[in-house]
Amino acid sequence: EDTHVAGLLTEPMQAAIIAYTQRTGRDLYLAFRNREIFAGLASRRGLLEPSVLSSNLHFDWVWAYYQDIALVLKIVEVFDQTH
């Protein structure tokens, strides 16, 4: 089945993507394949990278990471609702 970009990026999904980029100021990478969506987040923080000499368990880092994930999940939810 042919899929067109206009059909993939609905207005609510575009709004969710814009909200993410405006809030974070970072790039968001999206790929679509067989009605699936793949997302990649640009981040300078190494929250998922273990550090030997220090802890990354700072509330502000964890909260920022949580907010990033919540915004991307919003994009995925909108995609799920429309596809």
Res. 1 pLDDT band, cuts 50 70 90: low
| pLDDT for res 15 | 87
pLDDT in the model for residue 46: 62
**List of residues 6+ apart from 35 with CB closer than 8 A:** 3, 83
Q: Are strands 28-33 and 36-41 parallel, antiparallel or unpaired?
A: antiparallel
Query: Is 43 in contact with 26 (CB distance < 8 Å)?
Result: yes
pLDDT-derived band at 17 (thresholds 50, 70, 90) equals confident
Paired residues of 41 in beta bridges:
28
What's the rounded Cα separation, in Å, for the pair 8 and 51? 39
pLDDT at residue 3 greater than cutoff 60? no
pLDDT digits (tens, 9 = 90+) for 36-78: 888 887 777 665 666 666 676 778 877 888 888 888 888 888 8
Q: What's the predicted TM-score (pTM) here?
A: 0.61
User: Residue 60 CA to chain centroid, in angstroms?
Assistant: 19
Compute φ and ψ for 46, nearest 5 degrees: -100, 50
